[in-house]
Structure 1
Amino acid sequence: MFPGVEEYGVDVHVADRDVERALAVRPDDVEAADELSFARNVFVPLTTACRYTCTYCTYYDPPGQASLMTPEGIRETCRRGADAGCTEALFTFGDDPDDRYTEIHAELAELGHDSIHTYLREACEIALDEGLLPHSNPGDQTHAEMAAVADVNASMGVMLETTAEVRAHGGPRSKVPGQRLNTIANAGKLDVPFTTGILVGIGETWRDRAESLLAIRDLHERYGHVQEVIVQPVSDNERWHEGSPSLATMRRAVAMARDVLPDSVSVQVPPNLFDAREVVDCGVDDLGGVSPVTDDHVNPDYAWPALRELEAVAEHAGVPLAERLPTYERFLESERWTSERIRSALEATDEAGERYRAVRAGATGAAD
């Protein structure tokens, strides 16, 4: 059905009747959440190199202009985050950057690594040492690549974006939906709590949006691992000048996500990319990871909201705001979803362990 699913061996089922039902959903068909949540994180971009050249993305730098974050830099950034009360280290980098950038490959070799994925493991271990729970967004990963880092991550993620072929992904290094779906499936097979989402406004149709959400649901029903789905609007920047989706489009897309997905899967809208007050009545229950320390390196033109601004969103919705860890509570309650390394961090008697327990107990002020 979707490009690349046969190549990557992904078994995804989306029924036409479910697509038609999703297309009929409107904001009035869903209920507002009774609570909003967020995570306090520090953004750690291991490198701005990426093998893809999506026309809406400002994250990647061309070959020769990207570099690798050093272990010392990772440690210093994580330490600042822990000192600011963060609980999550959000690691990100472009898809397989050492595949296209010879300089990155050389820098990795100097550090004793033959790929960015083994370096990610070292980075996650640094974060754990500094009192943060790793949440990695490493782009597409094979089963072996994800297995190499799964036990040092509290949760992981990758944006599906869309199951459609769109011009914004075009070129000789185009993203393949089947590969993204395979990555989401790999997380399920490895019992990794996972975040994914759709990107709205890159040339996809309403049917594409419905099919993308249903594909995510199908994989979640099989493995039970999806913790949240982000409904993210594309935003104007130095590379994208085709506009952002309208308010009506975002409201309908969010409502569709809420209706399609199981109640246990959270729906998130990034508050630095869209006014969350405009969509909280459409089923949004999470405002994502927000950093009091670092920029949003994927969307540098759009600053994180101050934590007190999140309180304002919750006040507008008339619901409480709760801080959460990068892994949702229902996953933390089962050893199936948490490795021994992560459980040790959560149960530690040090300052970090106390901070994790305070967040889980709701003992922290949302905007301390």
Structure 2
Amino acid sequence: MIPGADEYGVEIAIDEADVEALLSVDPDDVDAPPSLTFARNVFVPLTTACRYTCTYCTYFDPPGRASLLSLEEVREICRRGADAGCTEALFTFGDDPDDRYAEINVQLAEWGHDSIHTYLREACEVALAEGLLPHANPGDQTREQMAAVADVNASMGVMLETTAEVDAHAGPRRKEPGQRLRTIRTAGELDVAFTTGILVGIGETWRDRAESLLAIAEMHDRYDHVQEVIVQPVVNNERWSGGSPDLETMRRVTAMARVALPEEVSVQVPPNLAPARELIDCGVDDLGGVSPVTDDHVNPEYAWPALRELEEIAASAGLPLRERLPVYERFLPPDLRPDDFDGVPADGAGSDEPDDAAAGEREWISPPIREALSADDDAGRRYRRVLESTERGV
């Protein structure tokens, strides 16, 4: 039983035979991908407040020290990103930061907002106005919270991390796997193209890793909405000295992810945290969002690789490298897809499809995002260059 699943109304069954089969997977059981992808983004750390106090995380600041970006600061970051050719504004902040930070509540109220989610919506609108497609990671969300911001995001995400209860999720407010799975399910119900992933090395067992990957696969099978799954190692920092998983562990768990997930779901490793060169043959086909402008604010001690380093990773694997948008091409309506698109369209035709989502009738791209992608301006042309590159490479 996944902790918290019943409490959050999540019905999910992990077959023991599937767990055992996945535990037997090794890198020799998977093939290298045909190509590698990445996205150009800017990190927008909307606030450093978080209701959780996970022992491996350096992102959150304690009450009294947490910050909240103004819309003017958001606009400046986005402008720098657009000028550098980025297509994605990655909004990061902790879960429900206004839940235990009085000063964050006061600041939000002064700016005319009663929650961080209404403020996030306004920040996403700023990003769209500056020519970037928002991809927000607001942590655990209720249906009401996600619905408040989904239409101004090209895609969204939250890391499942693990289906296990681990000591690393310490503190009076612990992350509940059931709540994370509810957020992933909510995204499927709202037709939101979604990114999730597992965190490796925080005290979970191999069985936990297999169950976590199978839980993600089951959610995708129901809603057809997961676009990529990140396999991310925990890394040493000022709050975590427990070490990182070794290469053998990363190779095996990456291969497990590739086997557990359907072909249309990308397997991603962050190249500033994981040994990407040694993982490509384990099924990795995406290197994530990489910023030419901003730091990785979640892992500030680990610098993003330059584009030439990504090219070297791809070259060492003998693979083409191409840029992508923050929303994968299979979620785009036919009139916005590139002519040479040969992927599997996202049509909601999962094996356990919700009754209210007929196959082929789902709208993954909201009117604001469609308008941005269709715009006849610098941003619109920048998006189309990414989609329509004739050589499909950089």
TM-score, normalised to structure 1, is 0.98
Does structure 2 retain, via aligned residues, the 8 Å contact 1:311–1:366? no
Give the deviation of 1:280 after TM superposition.
Answer: 0.4
Amino acid of the structure 2 residue aligned with 1:287: L
Does structure 2 retain, via aligned residues, the 8 Å contact 1:217–1:261? yes
- For 2:279, the equivalent position in structure 1 comes to 279
Residue 254 of structure 1 aligns to a residue in which SS? helix
- For 2:343, the equivalent position in structure 1 comes to none
- For 1:352, the equivalent position in structure 2 comes to 379
Give the deviation of 1:193 after TM superposition.
Answer: 0.2
* Distance (Å, rounded) in 2 between the aligned partners of 1:330 and 1:109: 39
- For 1:61, the equivalent position in structure 2 comes to 61
- For 2:256, the equivalent position in structure 1 comes to 256
Amino acid of the structure 2 residue aligned with 1:350: D
- For 1:340, the equivalent position in structure 2 comes to 367
- For 1:27, the equivalent position in structure 2 comes to 27
- For 1:320, the equivalent position in structure 2 comes to 320
Amino acid of the structure 1 residue aligned with 2:244: S
Superposed CA RMSD in Å reads 1.1
- For 1:144, the equivalent position in structure 2 comes to 144
- For 2:303, the equivalent position in structure 1 comes to 303
* Distance (Å, rounded) in 1 between the aligned partners of 2:249 and 2:214: 18
Give the deviation of 1:137 after TM superposition.
Answer: 0.4
Q: Classify 1:222/1:212 alpha carbon distance in 2 versus 1 (closer, same or farther; 3 Å).
A: same
- For 1:193, the equivalent position in structure 2 comes to 193
In the TM superposition, 1:163-202 aligns within 5 A as 163-202=163-202
* Distance (Å, rounded) in 2 between the aligned partners of 1:109 and 1:207: 45
* Distance (Å, rounded) in 1 between the aligned partners of 2:60 and 2:252: 30
Deviations 1:245-284 (A, max 9, x none): 0000000000000000000000000000012001000000
- For 2:134, the equivalent position in structure 1 comes to 134
Residue 90 of structure 1 aligns to a residue in which SS? strand
Deviations 1:84-125 (A, max 9, x none): 000000001000000010000101001100000110000000
Residue 6 of structure 1 aligns to a residue in which SS? coil
- For 1:37, the equivalent position in structure 2 comes to 37
Does structure 1 retain, via aligned residues, the 8 Å contact 2:247–2:275? no
Does structure 1 retain, via aligned residues, the 8 Å contact 2:320–2:393? no
Deviations 1:204-238 (A, max 9, x none): 00000000000000000000000000000000000
* Distance (Å, rounded) in 2 between the aligned partners of 1:170 and 1:297: 21
Residue 55 of structure 2 aligns to a residue in which SS? coil
Q: Classify 1:40/1:363 alpha carbon distance in 2 versus 1 (closer, same or farther; 3 Å).
A: farther
Does structure 2 retain, via aligned residues, the 8 Å contact 1:67–1:103? no
* Distance (Å, rounded) in 1 between the aligned partners of 2:170 and 2:21: 30
TM-score, normalised to structure 2, is 0.92
- For 2:117, the equivalent position in structure 1 comes to 117
Give the deviation of 1:362 after TM superposition.
Answer: 2.1
Residue 41 of structure 2 aligns to a residue in which SS? strand
Give the deviation of 1:11 after TM superposition.
Answer: 1.5
> Is residue 83 of structure 1 aligned with residue 110 of structure 2?
no
- For 2:349, the equivalent position in structure 1 comes to none
Amino acid of the structure 1 residue aligned with 2:204: E
* Distance (Å, rounded) in 1 between the aligned partners of 2:92 and 2:67: 14
Does structure 2 retain, via aligned residues, the 8 Å contact 1:113–1:119? yes
Deviations 1:115-171 (A, max 9, x none): 001100000000000000000000000000000111000000000000000000022
Amino acid of the structure 2 residue aligned with 1:304: W
* Distance (Å, rounded) in 1 between the aligned partners of 2:150 and 2:239: 33
Amino acid of the structure 1 residue aligned with 2:70: T
* Distance (Å, rounded) in 2 between the aligned partners of 1:363 and 1:90: 27
Contiguous gaps of at least 5 residues in structure 1: none
Does structure 2 retain, via aligned residues, the 8 Å contact 1:271–1:304? yes
List structure 1 segments (4+ residues) > 6 angstroms apart after TM superposition: none
* Distance (Å, rounded) in 2 between the aligned partners of 1:8 and 1:330: 30
Amino acid of the structure 1 residue aligned with 2:375: A
User: In percent, how many aligned pairs have the same letter?
Assistant: 74
Residue range with higher mean Cα deviation, 358-367 or 161-170 = 358-367
Does structure 2 retain, via aligned residues, the 8 Å contact 1:49–1:62? yes
Contiguous gaps of at least 5 residues in structure 2: 335-361
* Distance (Å, rounded) in 1 between the aligned partners of 2:135 and 2:380: 17
Deviations 1:276-304 (A, max 9, x none): 00100000000000000000000000000
- How many pairs are equivalent? 367
> Is residue 16 of structure 1 aligned with residue 16 of structure 2?
yes
Q: Classify 1:341/1:124 alpha carbon distance in 2 versus 1 (closer, same or farther; 3 Å).
A: same
- For 2:74, the equivalent position in structure 1 comes to 74
